[in-house]
């Protein structure tokens, strides 16, 4: 689809007055058009990404009608890609709410990774089972679960599986099956 398109996806915290205003129009004829692939699942649908030539910002994303897999169509997740790429409400910093606290505090990524590692080790150490009720060796913890993402590639999935299995996790799932 070429021409102009109304952008209504990245409303963020718009006021009621703003929300009722017609969304701005953008001219796709003058935009730079780039092909890409949807990152959400292994179907691999083709995309057309339109960027403003002056600012370099993404102004529209749609299905690529010339792509052999999706032929211009996108599912609900793919159709929402623009809101993922351009969204003022998207979180870009780590926020932490301590137990029993009523407020969120901004933290660094280093702090967050240390904290996650600390809690993973503590939970594993406190819940690890070497045998089950029948005395069979299991070497597992059922106190943690891992949820994968469709945006991961094969190599990342392999690494995550190896890491989670080595920790003893048995509850390992994929977001697309929820
Ligand atoms: S998430 Fe939807 S649009 Fe994206 S590749 Fe999968 S089926 Fe296609």
Q: Which atom of ligand 1 lies at the shortest distance from residue 37's CA?
A: 5
pLDDT category of residue 12 using cuts at 50, 70 and 90: very low
pTM: predicted TM-score of the whole model, two decimal places: 0.62
- Structural domains in the chain, CATH included, are 25-85 (3.30.200.210), 124-178 (no CATH)
- Average confidence (pLDDT) over 2-7: 44
- Please indicate whether residue 43, judged by its CB atom, sits closer than 6 Å to ligand 1: yes
- Please indicate whether residue 40, judged by its CB atom, sits closer than 6 Å to ligand 1: yes
- Average confidence (pLDDT) over 102-118: 97
- Please indicate whether residue 69, judged by its CB atom, sits closer than 6 Å to ligand 1: no
Contact between residue 45 and residue 67 where contact means Cβ atoms under 8 Å apart: yes
pLDDT at residue 177 tops 90:
no
84-93, 103-112, 125-134, 136-145: least confidently modelled range = 84-93
Rounded CA separation 170/85 (Å) = 33
Q: Which atom of ligand 1 lies at the shortest distance from residue 75's CA?
A: 2
- pLDDT top residue among 157 and 9: 157
- Please indicate whether residue 41, judged by its CB atom, sits closer than 6 Å to ligand 1: yes
9-13, 68-72, 99-103: least confidently modelled range = 9-13
């Amino acid at each position: 689809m070429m021409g102009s398109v109304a952008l209504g996806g990245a409303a963020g915290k718009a006021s009621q007055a703003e929300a009722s205003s017609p969304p701005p129009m953008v001219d796709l004829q003058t935009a730079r058009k780039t092909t890409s692939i949807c990152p959400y699942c292994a179907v691999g649908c083709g995309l057309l990404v339109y960027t403003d030539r002056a600012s370099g910002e993404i102004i529209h994303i749609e299905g690529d009608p010339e792509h052999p897999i999706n032929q211009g169509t996108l599912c609900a997740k793919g159709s929402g890609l623009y809101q993922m790429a351009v969204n003022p409400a998207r979180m870009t910093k780590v926020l932490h709410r301590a137990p029993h606290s009523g407020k969120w505090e901004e933290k660094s990524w280093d702090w967050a990774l240390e904290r996650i590692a600390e809690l993973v080790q503590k939970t594993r150490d406190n819940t690890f089972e070497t045998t089950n009720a029948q005395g069979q060796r299991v070497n597992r913890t059922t106190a943690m679960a891992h949820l994968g993402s469709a945006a991961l590639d094969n190599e990342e999935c392999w690494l995550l599986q190896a890491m989670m299995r080595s920790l003893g996790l048995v509850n390992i799932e994929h977001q697309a099956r929820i």
